[in-house]
Every structure is written in C-alpha cells, then in structure tokens.
Amino acid sequence: MNSARPMNTTLFAADALLPAGWQKNVLLQWNAAGRLTQVQPDSRPDASMQTAEGPLIPGMPNLHSHAFQRAFAGLTEYRGQAQDSFWSWRTLMYRFAQRITPEQFEAIATWLYIEMLEAGYTAVCEFHYVHHDADGRPYADDATLALCLLRAAQNTGIGLTLLPVLYQSSGFGATAATDGQRRFIRSTDNMLRLLERLKPVCDAQGARLGLAPHSLRAVPPEGLQEAVAGFTAMDSEAPVHIHIAEQTAEVEACLAWSGQRPVEWLLNHADVNARWCLVHATHMNETEYARAASSGAVAGICPSTEANLGDGIFDLPRWLSHGGAWGVGSDSHATVNAAEELLLLEYGQRLSLRQRNVLATRQQPQVATAMTLQALQGGAQAAGRDIAGLAVGQQADFVVLDAQHLALAGLHAPEMLSAHVFASHRTSAVHGVWVAGKQYVQAGRHPLHDAAARCFVAARSAIISES
Ligand code: NGQ
Ligand code: ZN
C-alpha cells in the first residue's frame, strides 16, 4: 500500500520555520531519497512550482508512544476506588493489554499513526512491550507484534523508531513479574535475538531500531547492563529509552532498594549519554537535573499523559538552565496533537510558576516558535534519525498550516504558529503533511483516514466487549 501522492521534489513557502527562525520566500528541494538538498530563503518561485498554502513548519517527532493504549484512552476517567492513581490506572491498562490480538494491535497502530500525521507528527518512537500472546507464550514468529508496528508505519507513511522493550520484573530488587505482565517478559538473550531479527527489517524500510529497558522497576541491574552492552555491540549509536522517576512512589521504592533515587542510580550505573532518552524524568533533585542534563540525554516529556496520570510537573526551566535537550511524546495518547502537547507543557509551567511565556528565549521570544524548535531538536535526537528540521541533509518532513483557517487568517507567520498552538480551535489548521518528501496528508486528511478509522472502532469494540 502506498498512500502518498506522486512525487514532487520542490515546494515554495512564503514563510517557513528554519532552525534559526522564520524566513521568507523559502524554496525547498529534496532528492529521490527524501533528503533536503536545498533550503533557500529569499528565493523566487517559478510558475511551475507547487506553493505552500500557509506557513511551513518542521514535522514534529513524537518521542514516546505505546500505540495500543490509544484504544484505551477515555476508558478510565471514572472513580474506581477511594483514591485512583497511576497504579490503579495501570491495573486496568494491563487488563486491556491482555486481550489484544495482532490484528487489533495493527488496526489500532495504523489509525493512531494517521491521527498523528494529521496532527503534525511526522515520526514516532514506539516503546513496544506487548510481545507475546494472551497466555504469555511467544508467537510462532517472536517478532509478530513488532512487525505489526512496522507495517502500520509503512502503510501510513510516518517515520518510525522501533524500541523493543526489555521487561523482566515487577519491582525493584528483581521481584517476579506478575500475571498481568505475562505478555511483556523476556530474558536478556531473547531480547538480543529479537533485536537481531528486527535490525534488517527496520533497515529495509528506513526505520531506526533502538532498545528500551522499560524502567528500573522492570529491569534488574544485570539485565540493563547486558542488554545495553549487547545492543551497543550491534549498533553503537542507536537510541536507548527508559521510563524513569515518573511517580514519587517509584522514587521512594528505589531509595529503599538502593539508597539512591532512580535518575541518580541510573547515572551511577549506566553510561548515560546523548543516545539516551529519559522518559518522564519528572522527579529529580537539583543534582540529578544538573547531571542528567549534562549527560546529553534527552528528557522525554509527555504532557497530556503526565497530566492524565497525575505524575507531577517536570521543571523544564531548570533542565534548560543546565543545557538539557527535550522533546515531547504522547505516550498513552490521552491526546494526539503535537500543538496541544506544547500548549499543555507551557501551561503546566505557567501554573506552577505563576508567570507567562515561560519557555520563550532571548533569541526567540515567540513561545510556540521556541518550543517547536527545541522539541524538534530533542525529538530528532531521541529518534536517532535525521529529522531535525528544515536544513540540507535532513529528511524532508514538514507540515503546512492553512493560512485561511479562521484561527490563522490575516496574521503574520509567527503569530499563525502561536494561534495554532495557543488559540485552540475545534478544527485543526494542519493542512498538508510531508514525510521524506512525500505528501501523506492533503487538506487535513490522510487518504486511509476513513478505512483505518472503521478498523480501529471495530478493534476497540471487540476488545471492550470481551470484558
Ligand atoms: C507503560 N506508562 O509501560 O505503559 C507505562 C505504565 C509502568 C507510563 N509510564 C506502566 N505512562 O510504568 O509500569
Ligand atoms: Zn511510557
């Protein structure tokens, strides 16, 4: 299946957001491999050239996704016990995860990736941990569910970083995994074999293969050390993602186990560097902020999920004061919208600091512009792919906003992006979306939108009706 339009290799935009900021009359040109070969401001369109319908912005990488959870969004927004929490949500999520078939898994991911493309994401890092069948037995082909994700990315056009997850224990101190975790569990050797099996498949479709030790709760020290070492021997630059310090109970349990906080423990026991993405590093002390930021690791912030699960607020100004890189993920997909994640992230900072325009910088006073450029850099680094924006050599991944959309009409380009992020509107201003130089979204819609939506609803209905 190929859902892209015929190849056009140039586009002219009256306004485009380049790494150094907004530029006028930008000519973009890319090669057959979808890499930018020219990004030329102050150029003139010739009559034959396709022209963007509004401001052109780089496509946003989504650095953290558990695709199957999209079908679970909205299903736990009721009180189930005296005090619901991350942990009570997790119990329900496990129950949901136990029932999904490979066909349903692929249908959910396919629809989700279409939603992402239509919402301004051009790449996704899939933190993939449902490996086995409903009874916890490996599929005849152990890569079955990973291949569903690869096909979903291929069929929709979104760029993929596939992060198979190592999951071995239910808590600190290598406590045995629970029955609810039976679909997730693998030995370290088995994990390395899966990575070897997936590497050529990823390479063939331009996906990046990484590794995700789930968390310090789920991976004992030996597994962490051996898996990272084994994978590094296979690819010394590939991304490594981990959930860390998301909940205060997790910090306390880590202290009780090791005398160290999770981020502190990780920095003391692993070679954390620019390959790493620390997902939900929400609870750090000052020393951890300083050390983790200067390791070069990306902070993976998932504003809508972190709000939905009651995690806490990441101190982004403090992280930035130490030179930290960051990006956004949609994680449980309570929200699937790149602009809304930026909105929620800035609003969390405003609410906690009682200030406005917290994430503006001296060079870039426009908050939405500053955040887009920073999240793009961090997201591209976490994805381990050349998707860091509109510069020669990077992949031609970009989004054109509709300058005629009511929220944007009559504004200058930087304000159009501000309105897109902050002047929330019932309909999106995302108009066209290109990945590797191919257009996958036209007039706000992906060609597979209707068919994929139907399959998603059927899959979700079937899963729910089993309960
Ligand atoms: C996950 N999600 O793996 O889907 C986790 C919950 C856990 C988030 N952390 C499970 N948001 O962390 O144990
Ligand atoms: Zn997660």
pLDDT at 203 over 50: yes
Structural domains of the chain, count: 2
Mutate to test the pocket of ligand 1, among 181, 332, 333, 335 (most ligand atoms within 8 A of CB): 332
420: left (phi over 0), alpha (psi -120 to 50) or beta: alpha
pLDDT digits (tens, 9 = 90+) for 120-153: 999 999 999 999 999 999 999 999 999 999 999 9
**Per-residue pLDDT for 4 more than 80?**
no
297-336 tens-digit pLDDT: 999 999 999 999 999 999 999 999 999 999 999 999 999 9
- Mean pLDDT within 84-107: 97
How far does the centroid of ligand 2 lie from the alpha carbon of residue 278, in Å? Answer: 10
298 and 162 in a common domain: yes
Q: How far apart are CA 151 and CA 106, in angstroms?
A: 8
CATH number at residue 141: 3.20.20.140
Counting residues of the chain whose pLDDT is more than 70, the rounded percentage is 98
User: Whose CA is closest to atom 10 on ligand 1?
Assistant: 90
Question: Per the domain annotation, does 429 fall within a domain?
Answer: yes
Residues 307 and 206 in one domain: yes
Do 147 and 181 share a domain, yes or no? yes
Whether residue 250 lies inside any domain: the answer is yes
Whether 184 and 320 map to the same domain: the answer is yes
Residues, CB within 5 angstroms of ligand 2 (ion)? 331
- 389: its two tokens: 């924006």
Question: What is the 14 CA–ligand 1 centroid distance (Å)?
Answer: 43
- The closest alpha carbon to 426, from 407, 439, 442, 444, belongs to 407
CB-based contacts of 196, cutoff 8 Å, min separation 6: 234
Residue that terminates a domain, selected from 353, 383, 413: 383
- Calculate the CA 450 to chain-centre distance: 24
Cα(431)–Cα(417) distance, integer angstroms: 13
459 within domain boundaries = no
Residues 21 and 37 in one domain: yes
Q: pLDDT at position 3, please?
A: 56
Residue 183 CB–ligand 1 contact under 6 Å? no
Q: Using alpha carbons, select from 139, 136, 210 the residue that is nearest to residue 177.
A: 136
Catalytic residues: 280, 331
403-454 residue pLDDT tens: 999 999 999 999 999 999 999 788 999 999 999 999 999 999 999 999 999 9
Rounded to the nearest integer, the mean pLDDT of the chain is 97
Name the helix (H) or strand (E) containing 337: none
CATH classification of the domain holding 423: 2.30.40.10
Residues 52 and 116 in one domain: no
CA of 68 to the centre of ligand 2 (A): 11
CA–CA separation, 169 and 217 (whole Å): 7
**Assigned domain for 186 exists:** yes
- For residues 384-388, average pLDDT: 98
Residue 102 has a pLDDT of: 98
What band does 1 get if pLDDT is binned at 50, 70 and 90?
Answer: very low
The residue range of the domain holding 304 is 60-383
Ligand 1 proximity of 243 Cβ (cutoff 6 Å)? yes
In terms of Cα–Cα distance, which of 209, 216, 175, 207 is closest to 192? 209
Q: Of 383, 409, 435, which residue constitutes the final position of a domain?
A: 383
Q: How many residues are present in the chain?
A: 467
Sorting pLDDT into bands at 50, 70 and 90, what band is 461?
very high
Q: Quote the pLDDT of residue 260.
A: 98
| pLDDT score of 235 more than 90 | yes
- CA 146, CA 155: separation in Å to the nearest integer? 14
- Domain identity same for 329 and 221: yes
Q: Quick one: 26 and 73 in the same domain?
A: no
Read off the amino acid at residue 338: A
Range with the poorest average pLDDT among 5-14, 51-60, 63-72, 454-463: 5-14
